[in-house]
A and B are shown apart, each in its own frame.
Chain A
C-alpha cells in the first residue's frame, strides 16, 4: 500500500525515516551487486518499471483513509518472480513515482518515501523467495510453477514490511496508533495484496516464458546476462530459444497485451465503481442537507455529526469500511424526525410524557429506514440506540454500558456535541470549551468515558478540519422568528425524570422481534434476477408488497398519523 500524502510534505520524523530507508536500500543494492555479483537486466527493469509507474498512477482501491492500495504490486510480483533481487529492487524504486502525485505537485519527499518503502519490502520478499528455493529460471516452467507457494509467502513478507513502514509513517503524521492502523487498514488489505500478487504471478509467468527475446537482445547489445556463460557454453541446446526469438517475442507481446487488456477491463469497472461510490456519498449528503432545510436549527447538522463521528471512529481505529457505514448512518440518523408530529418538535415548553414518547419514536423510525437499505442494515442499531445513556437512563431501551453498540455510543457523543454548539431557541450556543466541559461532566453517565476522552483529544489536536460550528450557529440565529421549528432532543435536565420511564426494554424487544418475524414470513423478498435479466422492482426488499395493497397501506398510514398530514398543510 502507498501512503497518502499530505500537502505540506512529510513530518520531520518521517523524513528521518525516509533517510534511514534510503540507507537500507543502498546497503541492499551494494550487497547484491558486489557481494552476490548480480547483474541488472536493464531492459527488463525498464519494461517492468514503466509498467509499475503506470499501475501506481491508475488510482487503485481507495479503501484506506490514510493509505491506498494500488495495482503497483502486479509488476512488482512479476519482477520478483522473473528477475533477480537487484533488478527487482530497482523496479520497486520506480514504483514510488505516481503520475497522479506528480500532477498534483506533491512533495518529492513523499514519493521518495513510497519508493524506498516499496524497495525495502521487495528486497525482503525477494530474499524470502530465494531463501525458500524459488526459481527465476524463466524457461524452466515446471520449476516456476512449483515455486508458487514460495511466492505467496514472499508476498506476505512484502505486506509485512510495507505495512510496518506505512503504519510508522502514518502514526507520526496523523497520530493513529500503529496497532489500530494495522488492524483497521493494513490487515484488510492483505487478501487484496495476495490476490493482486497472484495476478502479478501470471504476468511474471507470461513474461518469463517469452523473455528470451531479451536474452537475445542483451546478447546483441553485449550486456551481461545471468546465465550467459551457460548459453555460450552450450549453444546448440539454447539455439532454438535464441534464434527463434523474434517469433517468441511476438507471441510474448501478444500474450502480454491480452493479459493487460483483461486487467484493463477490470480496472475500468473499478473506476466506475469508485465514481459511483463518490456520487453516492455526495448525493446522500446533499439530499440529507436538503431535507434539513425546513428547520433552520437543523441545517448542516447531519454533515457535522457525520464529521465528528468519523473523527472519533478514526481515533478508535475503526476499519475504514465501518467508518464509511457509520458516516452514512450519521447522515441519515435524524431522518426519523419526520415521523414525529411537527407540533411536538415545535414545542417550546417542556414535553409531556406522551409527547416525549412520540419524540422517542424518531429513533425507531430512523432505524426502520436504515434496515431497508441492505448495506446499512447493521448500522440500524446505531441509530436506534443513539439516545441511550451509558448508565442506562436513555431511550428507547434503557440499555447500558457495553450493550449499547459502539457505533451508537459514537453517534451519541457526536450528536450531543453538535447540538450543544448550535443555538436552540431555549438556550444559547455553547462555546467549544463549555461543550467539552459538558461532555466531560456527563461522561460515564450519558456518554462512554473512553470515547469522550478520545474525542476531546482528537478535537484538541485540531485535526478536525470541520468548519467551526459557531459560524453555523450565527446563520441559525439570524433568520429565526419565534415560531420556527425547534428540536427537542436530550437535555441535561431530562435526567431529572424518573429513570423508570425508559426501562421497558424487554417487552418492547419481544414485540419488535415478533413483528420482524411476521414481516419476514409474509412479506418475503422475491428471488434474485434470473437469466432473462428480469428483476423485481426492489431496492428495498418487501416494500413492493405495498404496490398491491396500496389502499390498505395508505389507510393504515393515514389512520396512524393524522396529526402529521394535518400539520403539513401549509
Chain B
C-alpha cells in the first residue's frame, strides 16, 4: 500500500513539474536569451550534478544544488528553472553513463519545484526597498530590478553619481541585501527539501515524517550549509568572474565531498573489521557464521519496523559483536552481555552500540512492577533474532523457520518483544517468497560452490600430506 501512495506522489510531482516547466518555457523570451551564457550555465549545472556527497547513512546529495541556487539568484526564475532542469538531466545521464532510472527523474522534478518556490522567495526579498534606493541615487532613472542591476553593473564604477557621503546606498543595499536574501532563499530551499524527503521516507518506511525530520536535519545541515555558502559565493562573483567563479568555488565543495565520502568509507571499514572479529569470536565458541547471519536478519527486521537509519547503524555493529562476551564468560546469560558492553564502553563512538549489547540477552521485558523496561529497540531485535538463529542453525536439532517461530512465540511479550516477532515473521515470509522466486539453479550452484571450496581445501591439505609422506 505504501508503494501505491509513493507512486501516486511521484506522479503528482512529475505533473506539477511538467506544468511549471511549460509555463517557464512560455515565459522565457527566447529572443532576449543570451545563448552562450545559458549554455555555459547549463554546462556548469551538469558538471556539478555529476558529483555526489554520500553520508554513512541516508540519501546522497548532489552538488548541482549549489549551482542551482546560484543560477536562480542571477537569472530570472523561469530561465533559471529551465537551465537547472536541463543541466540536471544531462548531468545525471553522464554520471550514470546512460543507465538512468525513473527515480532519478523523480528527484530532479522534486528539486525543480522546490527551486521554483525558493526562487520566487528570493525575487521578492531582493526587491525589498530597491526602488527607494534607486530613486535616491538616480532620481528619475528607469527602475531596474535588483537582479539585473547586480548582473550588469558589477563594480562601483557603475553606481552613478555619488551622493555627498562616502556611503553609497546602492552599494550598501547590494552588500547587505544580497547575502541576506540569498541566505533566506537557501533556508527556504532546505526546509522544503527536508520536509519532502522526510515525508517520502515516512511513506517508504511506515514512520511519521515528524519523527524522521529532526534526524534528517541533524545529518544533512552541514553539507547544505556548505552548498548554500558556495552557491552564494558563485553568485556574488558571477558578475566579475563569469567562468572562474564556478571553478574557484568548486574546490571547497570538492573538499567537503572528499571528507564526507571518506567518512562513509571509514564507517564501512570499521564495520567490516568488526564483522571479522565477530566471526573469529563465533569460531571460538563453535557457532561459525552466527553473528553475520544475525546481523543480516536484524537489519532487515529493523528496516521493516521502520527504525531510523542511525539506529540501524548501531544495530549493525551491535549484532556483529553481540556475542563477544562469550569468549571469556562462556555461560549464556546477562554476564556475557555485560562483558561485551564493557569492552566497547571506552570508545565514545560506540557508546550506543555498547548499550544495545548490554541489553540484548533475553532480558525480561517487564520489570517486577510490570512496567515496560527501557530496552532499546535494537536490543530487542537482536534478542529475538539471535534466539531464532540458535534454533535454526545449531547442528543436530535444527528447526525450520516456521518451527522456530512457533518455539519462540510462547515467550511473546515476556522475553521476546511481540512487535519484533511479528516483523521477523514478515521478513521470513518475504525471504521465503523471494527464494521461491529466485532460480533454484543459482541457489544450488552457490551452495555447491561453497561446499566444494571447503572440500577442495581439505583435499589439498591431505594431498600434501600424502605427497610428502
Q: Determine if A375 and B272 form an interchain contact, defined as CB atoms under 8 angstroms apart.
A: yes
B318-341: CB near A (< 8 Å → 1, else 0) gives: 001100100110100000000000
Q: Is B350 in contact with chain A by the CB < 8 A criterion?
A: yes
Q: Determine if B465 and A247 form an interchain contact, defined as CB atoms under 8 angstroms apart.
A: no
Q: Determine if B263 and A269 form an interchain contact, defined as CB atoms under 8 angstroms apart.
A: yes
Q: How large is the interface on A (under 10, 10 to 19, 20 to 34, 35 or more residues)?
A: 35 or more
**CB within 8 Å for A551 and B229 given contacts A254-B236, A546-B293:** no
Report A-chain residues with C-beta under 8 Å of the C-beta of B236.
Answer: 251, 254-255, 258
Q: Determine if B468 and A501 form an interchain contact, defined as CB atoms under 8 angstroms apart.
A: yes
Report B-chain residues with C-beta under 8 Å of the C-beta of A280.
Answer: 266, 269-270, 273
Q: Determine if B469 and A251 form an interchain contact, defined as CB atoms under 8 angstroms apart.
A: no
Q: Determine if B175 and A531 form an interchain contact, defined as CB atoms under 8 angstroms apart.
A: no
Report A-chain residues with C-beta under 8 Å of the C-beta of B273.
Answer: 280, 284, 328, 332, 373, 376
Interface residue stretch chosen among B39-47, B405-413, B416-424, B440-448: B440-448
Q: Determine if B176 and A338 form an interchain contact, defined as CB atoms under 8 angstroms apart.
A: no
Q: Determine if B447 and A552 form an interchain contact, defined as CB atoms under 8 angstroms apart.
A: yes
Q: Which of A250, A293, A523 contacts B172 (CB 8 A)?
A: A250
Q: Looking across the interface, which residue of chain A has its beta carbon closest to that of B393?
A: A554
Q: Which of A258, A290, A546, A564 contacts B327 (CB 8 A)?
A: A290
Q: Which of B156, B225, B297, B445 contacts A241 (CB 8 A)?
A: B156
Interface residue stretch chosen among B14-22, B75-83, B276-284: B276-284
Q: Determine if A540 and B272 form an interchain contact, defined as CB atoms under 8 angstroms apart.
A: yes
Report A-chain residues with C-beta under 8 Å of the C-beta of B58.
Answer: 533
Interchain nearest-CB distance for A137 vs B (Å): 15
Q: Which of B103, B270, B461 contacts A361 (CB 8 A)?
A: B461
Q: Determine if A255 and B461 form an interchain contact, defined as CB atoms under 8 angstroms apart.
A: no
**CB within 8 Å for A519 and B280 given contacts A199-B252, A276-B267, A557-B289:** no
Q: Determine if A529 and B256 form an interchain contact, defined as CB atoms under 8 angstroms apart.
A: no
Q: Is B415 in contact with chain A by the CB < 8 A criterion?
A: no
> Cα distance A244–B389 when bound, in Å?
75
- Number of A-B residue pairs at CB separation under 8 A: 325
Q: Determine if A551 and B103 form an interchain contact, defined as CB atoms under 8 angstroms apart.
A: no
Tally of contact residues, B, Cβ under 8 A: 124
Q: Is B454 in contact with chain A by the CB < 8 A criterion?
A: yes
Q: Looking across the interface, which residue of chain B has its beta carbon closest to that of A260?
A: B229
Q: Looking across the interface, which residue of chain B has its beta carbon closest to that of A508?
A: B460
Report B-chain residues with C-beta under 8 Å of the C-beta of A290.
Answer: 324, 327-328, 343
Q: Determine if B244 and A549 form an interchain contact, defined as CB atoms under 8 angstroms apart.
A: no
Q: Determine if A294 and B289 form an interchain contact, defined as CB atoms under 8 angstroms apart.
A: no
Q: Is A543 in contact with chain B by the CB < 8 A criterion?
A: yes
Report B-chain residues with C-beta under 8 Å of the C-beta of A468.
Answer: none
Q: Which of A251, A262, A291, A357 contacts B277 (CB 8 A)?
A: A291
A367-383: CB near B (< 8 Å → 1, else 0) gives: 00110111110000000
Q: Determine if B233 and A258 form an interchain contact, defined as CB atoms under 8 angstroms apart.
A: yes
> Cα distance A100–B271 when bound, in Å?
32
Q: Determine if B275 and A539 form an interchain contact, defined as CB atoms under 8 angstroms apart.
A: yes
Main secondary structure, interface of B, reads: helix
Q: Is B439 in contact with chain A by the CB < 8 A criterion?
A: no
Interchain nearest-CB distance for B297 vs A (Å): 7
> Cα distance A245–B431 when bound, in Å?
69
A200-214: CB near B (< 8 Å → 1, else 0) gives: 011001100100000
Report A-chain residues with C-beta under 8 Å of the C-beta of B215.
Answer: none
**CB within 8 Å for A522 and B445 given contacts A209-B240, A290-B327:** yes
Q: Is A504 in contact with chain B by the CB < 8 A criterion?
A: yes
Interface residue stretch chosen among B123-131, B162-170, B371-379: B162-170
Q: Determine if B270 and A568 form an interchain contact, defined as CB atoms under 8 angstroms apart.
A: no
Q: Looking across the interface, which residue of chain B has its beta carbon closest to that of A539?
A: B271
- Point out which of A251, A287, A504 has the most chain B C-beta atoms below 10 A from its C-beta: A287
Q: Which of B162, B233, B393 contacts A259 (CB 8 A)?
A: B233
Q: Is A90 in contact with chain B by the CB < 8 A criterion?
A: no
Q: Determine if A141 and B60 form an interchain contact, defined as CB atoms under 8 angstroms apart.
A: no
> Cα distance A369–B275 when bound, in Å?
9
Report A-chain residues with C-beta under 8 Å of the C-beta of B284.
Answer: 291, 294, 338, 568
Q: Is A548 in contact with chain B by the CB < 8 A criterion?
A: yes
Interchain nearest-CB distance for A71 vs B (Å): 10
**CB within 8 Å for A565 and B175 given contacts A262-B230, A273-B262, A539-B316:** no
Chain A residues 420-446 with CB under 8 Å of chain B are: none
Q: Determine if B251 and A195 form an interchain contact, defined as CB atoms under 8 angstroms apart.
A: yes
A263-279: CB near B (< 8 Å → 1, else 0) gives: 10110111011011101
Report B-chain residues with C-beta under 8 Å of the C-beta of A376.
Answer: 273
> Cα distance A268–B225 when bound, in Å?
12
4 smallest A-B Cβ distances: which pairs? A247-B171, A244-B156, A269-B259, A565-B286
B residues apposed to A, CB below 8 Å: 54, 57-60, 103-104, 107, 155-157, 159, 162, 166-168, 170-172, 174-176, 178-179, 204, 222-223, 225-226, 229-230, 232-233, 236-237, 240-241, 244, 248-249, 251-253, 255-256, 258-260, 262-263, 265-277, 279-281, 283-289, 292-293, 295-297, 299-300, 309, 316, 320-321, 324, 327-328, 330, 343-344, 346-350, 389, 392-393, 395, 398, 431, 435, 442-443, 445-447, 449-454, 456-458, 460-461, 463-465, 467-469
15 other A-B residue contacts (CB within 8 Å) besides A244-B162, A255-B236: A141-B240, A243-B156, A258-B232, A258-B233, A262-B225, A266-B255, A269-B262, A273-B266, A280-B273, A282-B347, A287-B324, A332-B273, A518-B449, A523-B446, A568-B286
